[in-house]
Structure 1
Amino acid sequence: MPEGKIIKALSGFYYVLSNSEVYQCRGRGVFRKRNISPLVGDYVTFEPETMTEGTVVEIAERKNELIRPPIANVDQAILVFSATQPQFSDVLLDRFLVLVEAKHLKPIICISKVDLLSDEELKNIVQYKNLYESIGYDVLLTSTETKEGIEQLRPFLEKGVSVFAGQSGVGKSSMLNALNEELNLETNEISSHLGRGKHTTRHVELMPVGDGFVADTPGFSSLDFEEMEPEDLTLCFPEMREVMDNCKFRGCLHQSEPKCAVKAAVEEGTISAARYKHYEAFLAEIKEQRRY
């Protein structure tokens, strides 16, 4: 039977790309009985029924899987955060980074709408750029109006599957349109009353950019750490991960423990105090979740 890759899931149908042809498939009933749902990004075996339709009969083992957005076999995450409208939030960015790190994905940070900034506001954003680059992340300042940063982003997308993620209204769909004009994705303006964007993307779909695929995903405003244990959190902060082995106690959570290398690095200024503050807040949240 032929094999292919699910590139879109919509209204109970799975659209499977196989040898440059797309088949509209249903999932086999056994998946529901086993509580398995095919996901966009899955490599599948399917049984053709007509020239354009078929049934998914087997799902290959996944190398990773995201819950929100629901997608599998992702190579990297393009985290799109607007410099303004909505306002840039480093705590929300750190939340996204933790969840991406937990899935062992490579994150690329795109700060959009920089054309809307004053000189003073741009200096502030550049400071954030410098901070995250010092940690080891790739950071691009972008604008779909002036095309700044768009061509610098393109090489990151040439291979594999990249998921675009971020709040609603930050310009994910606009950025994808700039990368591939044939996509013609719907975009909406920011609501001045709510200060956030409308949801313009209602399903997950893989779209070609160069030799790779990108996934535009439904925007979301909050993320939780349901699958994470307190001990896992340090591993999702690269700068803390580098020094954690120097802590006196194995399993150190970097709070009140003596001779903690992470806290010492914060005091020395080699680890950002703001990032450490976010770590503490996330840790408290994870501990609270574990109480229930």
Structure 2
Amino acid sequence: MDYTPAMNTEGFLGYPAPAKLNLFLHIVGRRADGYHLLQSVFQLVDLCDTVWLKVDDSGEIVRNNPLPGVPAESDLIWRAAKLLQTRTGCRKGVALDLDKRIPMGGGMGGGSSDAATVLLALNRLWGLNLPRNDLMALGLELGADVPFFIYGRNAFVEGIGEIMTPVETEPGWFVVLHPPVHVPTLDIFRAPDLTRDSPPIKVRDLAATDTRNDMEPVACRLYPQIAEHVNWLNQYAAARMTGSGSCVFSRHASQDDAKRVILRLPDSWRGFVAAALEQHPLREFAAD
């Protein structure tokens, strides 16, 4: 079903930017340029940021309420709009705003999803009608996870994040915990004890393969609070870190089961329940 945006009192249209979980993450090698080669299943969930857009004819890209100390050229949603405008020669402008709900630095792809939503929404609002593959190519220039959110389906992801095969994932509910640490991804990739030679697997063999997150042991060593959250969550269901952290998650058969775990959270710990999504709410905004 096509998505109909909400409108706020200032005339901005609101579009969702869903989070993702890495159901597993294996590092299977390294390119000559130093980029690590990954295999993962990316699962969309219903925790969403909201990107607010107001299109005009000014030709200007304006970021409302910018993050303190973050110049426009470093802001991912501004960069996404500017890249799309520049590459297409579009003369229209847009004002941008953002409501953040996805934890920052949590490994849930929030910034990448925000950028993808800007590309998808402006593709329609500016009347560009670029096909999905063209938007994905632009997205890759902004970040390795951006193409996945434009692809808009749960996927077996390979390479540096640009190779996707659709997969059917189980419906269900996730408990997601957010340890109070920010994990710089480069610190994980630079760690000498990071596993970089997991055997590659085929998508057809996923169900029969023991999986893990190769980044998790390094993250837990560098940030013991992540290990503490994984160990606590393991009491109730198999727990795993997503991406390079710091968020950890477990899958549950029902929303009630997931809520029961959240109610047992230690004081001051942060967590929430998220439902699995089959596809991105804006997937129809680009044609295959």
Higher RCO structure (Cα 8 Å, ≥6 apart): 2
Q: Is TM (by shorter chain) over 0.5?
A: no
TM-score, length of structure 1 as denominator length: 0.25
* Rg larger for: 1
TM-score, length of structure 2 as denominator length: 0.26
